[in-house]
């Protein structure tokens, strides 16, 4: 419990200043590592300094750093506070760097808990802290786990299972050396395994939707037949004239992008060329691109005309998007209702009039609801868990690197096993899978042993 | 009659316990059901093995006798996992099943303060939740300050063969019929476990030409830190390897319902060990495996039984005959003893403290299979610790508790008392977190001082240890202070090692994979004479310094958590906010430290946080 903890201690929002707080014996050392000046150790206690946070040679953010050394601090440990200016993405990056360099993400209420355990706050508050730990932890755990999206979590679990099988093989060779009919796991196989793991972890980092959510925001594709009002809707959302709006079908050929911020999360709007079966060559490229965009988008806004019946093409498109997150946006509600929506789930329908700027707030609320943005707004933890995941993935890569070096140095397999197990545990921390007796169970289910 | 310490049971746990107690100058009584069966090896004829071999070294370092008895009757000995690296090397020997118990009995009989009595124990004398002695089957009461139960598989033992069940211990001995009921009466939770042993074959009836020979090592090896080898390398007795045949598998599958475990008996409650399934289990569970490997292991120079390792079964004897005869080289084999399974009572080990004293009854200790373990080595090390701690208890001293980062013995006992058991527990290297620290070669450096402090290691043995430690320091200093210069590049060239441009210490040169300490000695870089053990220590410590340091750092974290003690009188039901599962588990295990509490399954980090806050609040415990 003497380890150094870090957390973002202010509510997050784009553009706002946020503070990352670090507490523990190694606070100064760890933060120093990621500053440009590398001079933190020279400063006096209770002073503030202008500096930059760096990752290697890259400047991540321009910051103010407060140094408060024990014992006159909130936790009675060394505390460093980093005032970040660059918004959510960079604040997260700063946190991620801290975690990668040796901090542990603070549990809910942990700064307060430390303050108490170190005699900084009095006994009466203890009950409150216990309540806090109790009530927040469950929420925290669930959120943290939810943040590991289905796919990533599945990938990590698969990867861990692969490692576990290798570990079981190595351990069975060690614990049952007399079993000649069990394959001996070799250093060459270990090399292959490590390469495979590295590749997979890199893929996971790349694919991480969480990263995307925080760093790049949510991609929302506007689709619909020509002249249904996509560009007008885009303009309503962007509150400025950006897309070209005409009455002539098929004029929006390029995918015009714009970004809005809903509760601190970037929402990237992608307007597509009108999807319509066409022989026109130029337009055809646009149509193909639309279908491509549907695949890539986190959310599809399918715009239809209140004043017309659904065309066959529209029905086909509805079929195409039914497995995605989608909202059927019924535009032109200022006109007479001719559309038949009985086949569409009521919950997925939002009625607007882009012309009169009506229903836009409801649409934003719906987007919020789909991505649970309310939760993110009220609970910074989901951001934190993202930084946590990335730092653990990066740590995994570092361990893989070390193993590769060890293999080159002819390190015996029993040492490599130590690193491999460490890698397995690090990945396990992401999904919340703990050690227990998994390995022993795997050993006896994978291999046939006995006297 | 009054003794200071009574040990009930003369198996591997009982022997070590009795010797430790008596050596610590306590008047000790060892009670055995049959004296001629003291320290026998009722199952396999080997001592040591992966992890277990390291335990034998640890026992020896602490002053136990298992390694020395094994050394005196080695049929063959091997260093396992030599190539896999220093952290997992371990000795395994075929120990003579006649010599080993004879040597142990000799030691017991020559030990001052120790008496041996042949009888059966059926009850304890308990006053104020404290044990005061034992009651024999004849109703005789013998009083003692502390009692150690090492009953092995003898509590309500049932031998199972096919559809028959007889109340009987190994060797046809009488079991204890009431002791476990009485323990239950005193509040112990009793579990039923199962294990088994394969058939023994008459050596002269085996055609060894159809088998593959498995020899011992061609280098001398011993378990004990104090012994010189007494055997001859080329007189070691080989083992032999064979495989099951398709016919074997067919016989087993055709007769499956006759096995006790597969319908032969419908009242089996015992849980068998996962790591040592019967041959029928292996064939059912691993259907795709075409053959299973079996070893023919010699039991003794003094009789001709061959132990058929890998072929344990609870089939009826007529099926066993067919099964054995389907094996290559065993077509005409004569079975001297049939395989059997055995069911027995044990106590659920979370009812023990780390000292192996029970939480239920004061001054009562238990060790070995009664605690849910399996294996001679696992039993012996618990016996040793229980013996030491029973003695320390009546001396009003703190118990000897080995940490997980100090010894496999520490891992074993901590696993038992913290996690309990589902099936008979066997030590595996996989169970140890810090196995690079818990090596075969450094058991004396890790533990001998503890043995000396409690009085089981003599001044002479201790002086030898200190000489070794000094030599290691001197040699390490030499390596760090002496430098190679560019003049030595010829030497490096010889070993295909990168040439140097500046001075570099021998220590750093030795870190290179291609450079060995032997190479440095051969080329005259090292002055002074050092023993093989010293050279080995220095070489390992140098080459793997990074890994060792990493494990030490991890181990230190655990040690810090374990120094955060939890008071014995804590009432978990009073801790508001603690999850009910955590309350229940913590109340059951009653961990002595935060470090131990973390390892209990079902206790999560939030529970630990709440517990720390509670401890600070109620006991003003420092968290640091």
Domain-located, residue A112: no
Q: Does A439 touch chain B (CB under 8 A)?
A: yes
Closest-CA distance of chain B to residue A47, Å: 27
Cβ of A451 and B87 within 8 Å? no
What is the arithmetic mean of pLDDT over B141-158?
A: 96
The reply to whether A317 and A419 lie within a common domain is no
> Which pLDDT tens digit goes with each residue over B567-621?
988 999 988 778 888 999 999 999 999 999 989 988 877 788 888 888 887 877 6
**Chain B residues with CB-CB distance to A116 below 8 A:** 613, 616
B240: nearest CA partner in chain A: A178
Closest-CA distance of chain A to residue B393, Å: 32
The reply to whether A246 and A362 lie within a common domain is yes
Alpha-carbon distance of B547 to B553, in angstroms, equals 10
Cβ of A418 and B295 within 8 Å? no
Helix (H) or strand (E) holding A47: strand A47-55
**Chain B residues with CB-CB distance to A415 below 8 A:** 85, 87, 436, 544, 547
Phi, psi of A397 (to 5 degrees): -65, -40
The reply to whether A350 and A422 lie within a common domain is no
Q: What is the DSSP letter of A69?
A: -
Q: Does A129 touch chain B (CB under 8 A)?
A: yes
Burial A23-43, CB ≥16 within 10 A → b, else e: bbebbbbbbbbbbeeeebeeb
What per-residue confidence (pLDDT) applies to B390? 98
Report the CATH number that the domain containing residue A170 is assigned in CATH. Answer: 1.20.120.430
The domain boundary residue, chosen from A85, A106, A127: A106
What per-residue confidence (pLDDT) applies to B404? 95
Instruction: Count how many pairs of residues, chain A against chain B, have C-beta atoms within 8 Å.
Output: 139
In sequence order, the 6+-apart residues with CB closer than 8 A to the CB of A320 are A291, A294
What per-residue confidence (pLDDT) applies to A264? 57
**Chain B residues with CB-CB distance to A113 below 8 A:** 609, 612-613
Cβ of A414 and B87 within 8 Å? yes
What per-residue confidence (pLDDT) applies to A255? 53
The reply to whether A220 and A331 lie within a common domain is yes
Within B273-323, strands assigned E span 293-298, 305-309
Cβ of B275 and A444 within 8 Å? yes
Q: Cα–Cα distances in Å, from A40 out to A50, A58, B93, B498?
A: 11, 19, 59, 39
In sequence order, the 6+-apart residues with CB closer than 8 A to the CB of A110 are A5, A7, B609
- Smallest Cβ–Cβ distance between B610 and the set A130, A176, A450 belongs to A130
Closest-CA distance of chain B to residue A419, Å: 9
Cβ of A133 and B81 within 8 Å? no
Q: Does A418 touch chain B (CB under 8 A)?
A: yes
Alpha-carbon distance of A185 to A254, in angstroms, equals 55
The domain boundary residue, chosen from A49, A77, A106: A106
Is the separation of the CB atoms in B235 and B322 below 8 Å? no
Cβ of A414 and B310 within 8 Å? no
**Sequential DSSP letters for B323-362:** HHHTSTT-TTPPEEE--EEEEEEEE-GGGB-TTSBBSSSB
**Chain B residues with CB-CB distance to A436 below 8 A:** 601
Q: What is the DSSP letter of B173?
A: P
Alpha-carbon distance of A128 to A120, in angstroms, equals 15
Report which of B80, B348, B329, B368 is spatially closest to residue B216, judged by C-alpha positions: B80
Residue B262 has pLDDT above 60, yes or no: yes
Domain-located, residue A312: yes
Interface test with A, best of B85, B241, B291, B314 (most A CBs within 10 A): B85
C-alpha distance across the termini of chain B, in Å: 50
The reply to whether A284 and A412 lie within a common domain is no
pTM given for the model: 0.80
**Sequential DSSP letters for B88-145:** G-EEEEEEPTTHHHHHHHHHHHH-TTEEEEE--EEEEEEETTEEEEEEETT--EEEEE
> Which pLDDT tens digit goes with each residue over B168-185?
988 888 899 999 999 999
Domain-located, residue A119: no
Region of poorest pLDDT, from A429-438, B418-427, B439-448: A429-438
The reply to whether A204 and A81 lie within a common domain is no
Domain-located, residue A255: yes
Domains observed in chain B: 2-195+344-454 (3.50.50.60), 200-341 (2.40.30.260), 459-553 (1.10.10.1800), 563-619 (1.10.150.570)
Is the separation of the CB atoms in B131 and B125 below 8 Å? yes
Cβ of B84 and A448 within 8 Å? no
Q: Does A281 touch chain B (CB under 8 A)?
A: no
The reply to whether A224 and A370 lie within a common domain is yes
Query: How many CB atoms sit inside 10 A of residue B331's CB?
Result: 13
The reply to whether A188 and A313 lie within a common domain is no
The reply to whether A225 and A204 lie within a common domain is no
- Smallest Cβ–Cβ distance between A173 and the set B84, B241, B278 belongs to B84
- Smallest Cβ–Cβ distance between A451 and the set B198, B286, B435 belongs to B198
Closest-CA distance of chain B to residue A414, Å: 5
Domains: count for chain A: 3
B322 or B433, which is more confident: B322
User: Strand B90-95 and strand A218-224: pairing?
Assistant: unpaired
Q: Which residue shows structure tokens 């796919």?
A: A151
Cβ of B610 and A133 within 8 Å? yes
The reply to whether A184 and A289 lie within a common domain is no
**Chain B residues with CB-CB distance to A130 below 8 A:** 576-577, 610, 613-614
Closest-CA distance of chain A to residue B129, Å: 34
The reply to whether A252 and A349 lie within a common domain is yes
- Smallest Cβ–Cβ distance between B293 and the set A116, A173, A179 belongs to A179
Alpha-carbon distance of A193 to A201, in angstroms, equals 12
Closest-CA distance of chain B to residue A432, Å: 11
Is the separation of the CB atoms in B443 and B57 below 8 Å? yes
What per-residue confidence (pLDDT) applies to A266? 66
Q: Which domain holds residue A173?
A: 150-208+398-446
Closest-CA distance of chain B to residue A136, Å: 10
What per-residue confidence (pLDDT) applies to A372? 62
**Chain B residues with CB-CB distance to A177 below 8 A:** 50, 80-81, 84
Print pLDDT tens along chain A (451 aa). 578 999 887 765 545 678 899 999 999 999 999 999 999 999 999 999 999 999 888 888 889 999 999 899 988 999 999 998 866 667 878 888 998 898 988 877 788 888 888 877 665 666 666 666 655 555 555 555 555 555 677 788 889 999 998 998 898 888 888 887 778 888 889 899 999 999 988 887 776 555 555 555 678 888 888 788 887 888 888 765 444 343 444 434 345 466 676 665 667 787 765 454 555 554 454 556 667 778 778 888 898 998 888 888 888 888 888 888 889 999 988 888 888 888 788 888 999 998 888 888 888 888 877 776 544 433 444 444 567 777 888 889 999 999 999 998 888 888 899 899 889 988 887 776 665 566 667 766 666 665 5
The reply to whether A313 and A225 lie within a common domain is yes
Report the CATH number that the domain containing residue A365 is assigned in CATH. Answer: 3.40.50.300
Domain-located, residue A140: no
- Smallest Cβ–Cβ distance between B613 and the set A130, A173, A180 belongs to A130
Domain-located, residue A307: yes
**Chain A residues with CB-CB distance to B561 below 8 A:** 1
**Chain B residues with CB-CB distance to A409 below 8 A:** 513
ipTM of the shown complex:
0.84
Q: Does A405 touch chain B (CB under 8 A)?
A: no
What per-residue confidence (pLDDT) applies to A244? 39
Domain-located, residue A371: yes
Residue B68 has pLDDT above 70, yes or no: yes
Domain-located, residue A135: no
Report the CATH number that the domain containing residue A92 is assigned in CATH. Answer: 3.30.1360.120
Closest-CA distance of chain B to residue A113, Å: 7
Is the separation of the CB atoms in A236 and A357 below 8 Å? yes
What per-residue confidence (pLDDT) applies to A247? 40
Report which of B160, B414, B361 is spatially closest to residue B269, judged by C-alpha positions: B160
- Smallest Cβ–Cβ distance between B310 and the set A134, A409, A450 belongs to A450
Proportion of chain B above pLDDT 70, given as a percent:
99
**Chain B residues with CB-CB distance to A126 below 8 A:** 613, 616-617
Region of poorest pLDDT, from A12-16, B161-165, B295-299, B521-525: A12-16
Cβ of A133 and B613 within 8 Å? yes
What per-residue confidence (pLDDT) applies to B379? 98
Phi, psi of A365 (to 5 degrees): -60, -40
Average pLDDT value over all residues in chain B:
93
**Chain A residues with CB-CB distance to B616 below 8 A:** 116-117, 126
Interface test with A, best of B199, B609, B615 (most A CBs within 10 A): B609
Alpha-carbon distance of B360 to B182, in angstroms, equals 13
Interface test with B, best of A70, A105, A174 (most B CBs within 10 A): A174
User: What radius of gyration do chain A's Cα atoms show?
Assistant: 27
Tokens of residue B219, six digits: 């280098």
A432: nearest CA partner in chain B: B604
Residue B72 has pLDDT above 90, yes or no: yes
Phi, psi of B27 (to 5 degrees): -70, 115
What is the arithmetic mean of pLDDT over B343-369?
A: 97
Alpha-carbon distance of B479 to B491, in angstroms, equals 16
Within A94-233, strands assigned E span 104-105, 218-224
What per-residue confidence (pLDDT) applies to B183? 97
């Amino acid at each position: 419990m003497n380890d150094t903890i870090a957390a973002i201690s202010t509510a997050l929002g784009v553009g706002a200043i946020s503070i990352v707080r670090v507490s523990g014996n190694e606070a100064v050392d760890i933060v120093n590592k990621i500053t440009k000046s590398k001079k933190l150790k020279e400063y006096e206690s209770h002073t503030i300094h202008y500096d930059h946070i760096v990752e290697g040679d890259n400047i991540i953010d321009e910051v103010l750093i407060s140094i408060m050394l024990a014992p006159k601090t909130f936790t009675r440990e060394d505390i460093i506070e980093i005032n970040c200016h660059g918004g959510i993405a960079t604040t997260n990056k700063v946190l991620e760097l801290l975690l990668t360099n040796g901090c542990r993400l603070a549990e809910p209420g942990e700064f307060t808990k430390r303050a108490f355990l170190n005699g900084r706050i009095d006994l009466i508050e203890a009950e409150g802290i216990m309540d806090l730990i109790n009530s927040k932890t469950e929420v925290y755990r669930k959120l943290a786990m939810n943040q590991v999206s289905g796919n990533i979590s599945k990938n990590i679990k698969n990867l861990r299972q692969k490692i576990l099988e290798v570990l079981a093989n190595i351990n069975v060779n060690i614990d049952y050396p007399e079993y000649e009919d069990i394959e001996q796991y070799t250093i060459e196989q270990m090399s292959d395994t490590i390469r495979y793991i590295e590749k997979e972890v890199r893929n996971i980092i790349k694919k991480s939707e969480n990263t995307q959510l925080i760093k790049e925001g949510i991609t929302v594709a506007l689709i619909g037949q020509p002249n249904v009002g996509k560009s007008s809707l885009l303009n309503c959302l962007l509150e400025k004239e950006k897309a070209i709006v005409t009455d002539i079908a098929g004029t929006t050929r390029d995918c015009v992008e714009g970004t809005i911020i809903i509760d601190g999360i970037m929402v990237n709007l992608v307007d597509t060329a009108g999807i319509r079966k066409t022989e026109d060559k130029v337009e055809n490229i646009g149509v193909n691109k639309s279908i491509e965009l549907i695949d890539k988008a986190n959310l599809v806004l399918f715009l239809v005309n209140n004043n017309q019946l659904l065309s066959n093409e529209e029905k086909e498109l509805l079929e195409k998007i039914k497995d995605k997150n989608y909202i059927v946006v019924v535009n032109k509600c200022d006109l007479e209702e001719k559309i038949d929506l009985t086949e569409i789930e009521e919950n997925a329908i939002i009625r607007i009039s882009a012309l009169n700027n009506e229903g836009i707030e409801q649409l934003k609320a719906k987007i919020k609801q789909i991505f649970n943005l309310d939760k993110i707004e009220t609970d910074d933890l989901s951001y934190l868990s993202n930084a946590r995941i990335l730092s653990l993935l990066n740590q995994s890569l570092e361990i893989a690197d070390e193993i590769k070096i060890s293999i080159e140095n002819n390190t015996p397999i029993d040492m490599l096993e130590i690193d491999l197990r460490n890698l397995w545990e690090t990945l396990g921390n992401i999904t919340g899978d703990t050690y227990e007796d998994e390995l022993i169970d795997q050993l006896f289910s994978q291999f046939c042993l006995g006297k | 009659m009054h003794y200071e310490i009574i040990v009930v049971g003369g198996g591997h746990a009982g022997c070590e316990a009795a010797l430790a107690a008596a050596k610590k100058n306590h008047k000790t009584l060892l009670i055995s059901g049959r004296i001629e069966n003291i320290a026998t090896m009722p199952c396999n004829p080997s001592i040591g093995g992966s992890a277990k071999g390291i335990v034998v070294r640890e026992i020896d370092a602490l002053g136990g006798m298992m390694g020395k008895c094994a050394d005196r009757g080695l049929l063959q000995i091997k260093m396992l996992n030599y190539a896999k690296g220093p952290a997992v090397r371990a000795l395994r020997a075929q120990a003579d099943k006649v010599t080993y118990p004879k040597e142990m009995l000799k030691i017991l009989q020559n030990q001052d303060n120790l008496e041996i009595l042949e009888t059966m124990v059926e009850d304890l004398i308990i006053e104020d939740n404290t044990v005061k002695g034992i009651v024999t089957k004849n109703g005789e009461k013998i009083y003692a300050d502390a009692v150690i139960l090492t009953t092995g598989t003898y509590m309500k033992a049932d031998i199972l063969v096919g559809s028959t069940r007889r109340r009987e211990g190994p060797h046809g001995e009488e079991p204890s019929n009431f002791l476990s009921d009485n323990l239950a009466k005193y509040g112990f939770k009793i579990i039923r476990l199962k294990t088994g042993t394969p058939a023994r074959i008459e050596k002269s009836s085996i055609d060894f030409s159809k088998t593959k020979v498995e020899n011992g090592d061609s280098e001398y090896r011993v378990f004990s830190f104090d012994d010189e080898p007494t055997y001859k390398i080329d007189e070691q007795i080989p083992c032999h390897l064979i495989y099951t045949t398709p016919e074997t598998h067919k016989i087993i599958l055709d007769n499956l319902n006759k096995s006790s475990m597969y319908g032969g008996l419908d009242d089996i409650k015992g849980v068998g060990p996962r790591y040592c399934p019967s041959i029928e289990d292996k064939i059912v569970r691993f259907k795709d495996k075409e053959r299973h490997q079996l070893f023919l292991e010699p039991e003794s120079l003094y009789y001709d039984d061959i132990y058929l390792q890998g072929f344990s079964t609870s089939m009826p004897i007529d099926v066993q005959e067919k099964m054995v005869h389907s094996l290559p080289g065993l077509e005409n084999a004569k079975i001297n003893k049939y395989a059997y399974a055995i069911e027995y009572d044990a106590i659920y080990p979370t009812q023990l403290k780390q000292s192996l004293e029970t939480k239920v009854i004061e001054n009562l200790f238990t060790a070995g299979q009664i605690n849910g373990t399996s294996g001679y080595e696992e039993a012996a090390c618990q016996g040793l610790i229980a013996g030491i701690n029973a003695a320390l208890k009546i001396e009003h001293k703190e118990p000897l508790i080995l940490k997980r980062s100090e010894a496999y013995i520490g891992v074993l006992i901590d696993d038992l008392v913290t996690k309990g058991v589902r099936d008979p527990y066997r030590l595996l290297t996989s169970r140890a977190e810090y196995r690079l620290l818990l090596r075969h070669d450094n058991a004396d450096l890790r533990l001998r001082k503890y043995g000396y402090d409690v009085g089981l290691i003599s001044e002479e043995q201790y002086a030898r240890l200190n000489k070794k430690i000094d030599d290691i320091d001197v040699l390490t200093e030499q390596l760090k202070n002496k430098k190679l210069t560019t003049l030595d590049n010829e030497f490096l060239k010889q070993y295909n090692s990168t040439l140097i441009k500046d001075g570099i210490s021998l220590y750093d040169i030795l870190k290179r994979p291609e450079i060995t300490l032997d190479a440095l000695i051969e080329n005259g870089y090292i002055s002074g004479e050092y023993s093989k053990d010293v050279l080995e220590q220095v070489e390992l410590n140098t080459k793997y310094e990074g890994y060792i340091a990493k494990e030490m750092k991890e181990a230190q974290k655990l040690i810090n958590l374990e120094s955060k003690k939890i008071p014995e009188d804590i009432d978990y039901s009073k801790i508001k906010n603690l999850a009910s599962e955590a309350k229940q588990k913590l109340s059951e295990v009653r961990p002595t430290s935060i470090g131990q509490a973390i390892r209990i399954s079902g206790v999560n980090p939030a529970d630990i946080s709440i517990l720390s806050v509670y401890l600070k609040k109620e006991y003003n415990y420092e968290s640091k």
